[in-house]
Structure 1
Amino acid sequence: MPAAPLSQEEIEDRLGDLPGWSLEGDRITRTYRLPTHFAAAGLTVHVAAIQDELNHHSDLTLGYNTVTLRVNTHDAGGAVTEKDLDLAARVAAVAAGHGAR
């Protein structure tokens, strides 16, 4: 069964617990800045592992010292669902350990 889309109010409420994350169009997004390219690559690998564990994947972009995630749920018609916010929370929980801000 596909995940249910969340209302804009539900998304904004949940984003209040996820500093730096925002709603942009039909996705939640966040760019993390890291001290080095190597640290950014390490966070990217860690995020990829979390995504595989959850079987829920974002658009994940590695820059020189940045990592950007853009996520929505394809099987919910591209809407934001609990799955997206759960992924964001898991990423937020590990990002600081990589030196992300």
Structure 2
Amino acid sequence: MSSEPLSQKEIEDRLRELPGWAYENDRLVRTYRLGGHAAAGALVAHIVAVQEELNHHSDLTLGYNTVRVSVNTHSAGDSVTDSDFALAERVEALAPSHGVR
């Protein structure tokens, strides 16, 4: 997987495949709303496991019933790369199993 920064157009094109995700301040971001705190915590734990598997880590913010994911690639000058999209796609695939609204 390339760790080269993606162009603005590449990011915009790929975001079309990830509804709910956005590009803000040189990062891919999404906030998930869940049924309660336990469900949000379980989603965070699941995301952490995926991040360990991919060896690529995001910033996660846990709220009462929300989880915010924010990611870019530090080794690529804090830019968005293929690795960030790979993580976002995996998170997006697992979120429904946690009751994301």
TM range (shorter): over 0.9
Give the match for residue 26 of structure 2.
26
State the shift of 1:25 in Å. 1.4
State the shift of 1:29 in Å. 0.1
Give the match for residue 89 of structure 1.
89
Within a 5 Å distance, the mapping from 1:38-57 to structure 2 comes to 38-57=38-57
Give the match for residue 74 of structure 2.
74
* Alignment-mate amino acid for residue 28 of structure 1: L
What secondary structure, in the 3-state scheme, does the structure 1 residue paired with 2:68 have? strand
* Alignment-mate amino acid for residue 66 of structure 2: T
Count of aligned residue pairs for this structure pair: 100
1:54-77 CA deviation, whole Å, 9 max, x = no partner?
A: 000000111000000110000000
What secondary structure, in the 3-state scheme, does the structure 1 residue paired with 2:23 have? strand
Is there any run of 5+ residues in structure 1 with no aligned partner, and where?
Answer: none
State the shift of 1:45 in Å. 0.1
Find the aligned partners of 1:15 and 1:50 in 2 and give their Cα distance: 20
Is there any run of 5+ residues in structure 2 with no aligned partner, and where?
Answer: none
- Divergent runs of 4+, >6 A: none
What secondary structure, in the 3-state scheme, does the structure 2 residue paired with 1:57 have? coil
1:46-93 CA deviation, whole Å, 9 max, x = no partner?
A: 000000000000001110000001100000000000000000000000
After TM superposition, the score normalised by the length of structure 2 is 0.97
What secondary structure, in the 3-state scheme, does the structure 1 residue paired with 2:32 have? strand
Identity %: 62
